[in-house]
């Protein structure tokens, strides 16, 4: 009998997009707000579609989302209508929906819908740098500004050595990510996928990202994102 060949791990994108973006005060979910002529979420989707390394892209939305069908290109993207009340819940539900579709050692790149500045070069940098790391990794930026901590009327300078600002994608193997999120019971301690993995005693690899990959949170961020996209 001919031995079965080992299949190389694949790379899948998972975009949680069930949030409402309350801080934008826009009257509509922020992932659908226009940036440089098209919805923010479409920029995010297009980044993964432009990468030859990504096998498929999945978007997690709320069951009653009425915008996604006009934004996600049919066939190229699979929409999972199982979004939850929190980002972590949406990712958990998305991973459960993909059981049997993604192998345990395939990589999942979880990326914020509100980071429209991602591009194929950053995706490739993350994948090639993390490589076969046993844990996984994420894009992040080293802190360059002086950091202050304020509390109880006191202000202190915090040493910035070794401090990084987490970005996305955050890339982990399907099985490990599912186990980490299943074990995460305190949403105040687990603020992103990497922190859930860290809670298991593991250390993800930090891969230097780019300021263009900012998260659009406030109205002023839209103009900054448009400036980076215009320079592409």
Residue-wise pLDDT for 88-110, tens only, equals 999 999 999 999 999 999 999 99
pLDDT tens by residue, 21-74: 545 545 678 999 999 999 999 999 999 999 999 999 999 999 999 999 999 999
Show the DSSP H helices in the chain as ranges: 40-49, 87-97, 120-130, 174-183, 193-198, 219-230
Place of tokens 């192998």: 103
Confidence check: pLDDT of 12 > 60: yes
Task: Please check the confidence at residue 151 and state whether its pLDDT lies above 50.
Answer: yes
pLDDT at 68: 96
pLDDT number for residue 185:
81
pLDDT digits (tens, 9 = 90+) for 107-127: 999 999 999 999 999 999 999
Res 187: pLDDT: 72
Q: What global pTM score does this model have?
A: 0.93
Domain ranges of the chain: 11-230
Contacts with 231 (C-beta within 8 Å, 6 or more apart), sequence order: 212
Q: What radius of gyration do the chain's Cα atoms show?
A: 18
Confidence tier at 4 by pLDDT (50, 70, 90): very low
Tell me the angle at which helices 87-97 and 174-183 cross, rounded to the nearest 10 degrees: 140
Predicted confidence (pLDDT) at residue 75 exceeds the cutoff of 50: yes
Q: What is the dihedral of CA 121, 211, 107, 112, to 10 degrees?
A: -120
In three-state secondary structure terms, 178 is helix
**Residue 91 has what pLDDT?**
96
Q: What is the mean pLDDT of the chain?
A: 93
Which region holds residue 36: left if phi is over 0, alpha if psi is between -120 and 50, else beta?
left
Residue 19: per-residue pLDDT: 78
DSSP string, 103-133: -TTSEEEE--TT-TT--HHHHHHHHHHHTT-
In CATH terms, 11-230 corresponds, of 1.10.3720.10, 3.90.550.10, 3.40.50.300, 3.30.450.20, to: 3.90.550.10
């Amino acid at each position: 009998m001919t031995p079965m060949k080992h299949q190389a791990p694949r790379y899948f994108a998972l975009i949680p997009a069930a949030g409402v973006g309350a801080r934008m005060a826009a009257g509509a979910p922020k992932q659908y707000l226009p940036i440089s002529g098209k919805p923010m979420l479409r920029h995010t989707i297009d980044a993964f579609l432009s990468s030859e390394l990504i096998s498929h892209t999945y978007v997690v939305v709320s069951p009653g989302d009425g915008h996604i069908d006009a934004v996600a290109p049919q066939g190229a993207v699979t929409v999972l209508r199982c979004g939850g009340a929190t980002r972590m819940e949406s990712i958990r539900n998305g991973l459960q929906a993909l059981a049997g579709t993604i192998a345990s050692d395939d990589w999942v790149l979880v990326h914020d819908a509100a980071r429209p500045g991602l591009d194929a070069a950053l995706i490739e940098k993350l994948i090639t740098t993390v490589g076969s790391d046993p844990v996984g990794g994420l894009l992040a930026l080293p802190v360059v500004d002086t950091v202050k901590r304020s509390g109880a009327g006191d202000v202190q300078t915090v040493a910035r050595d070794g401090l990084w600002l987490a970005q996305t994608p955050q890339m982990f193997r399907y099985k490990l990510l599912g186990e980490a999120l299943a074990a995460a019971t305190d949403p105040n301690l687990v603020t992103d996928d990497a922190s859930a993995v860290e809670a298991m005693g593991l250390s993800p690899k930090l891969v230097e990202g780019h300021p263009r990959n900012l998260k659009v949170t406030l109205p002023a961020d839209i103009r900054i994102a448009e400036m980076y996209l215009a320079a592409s």
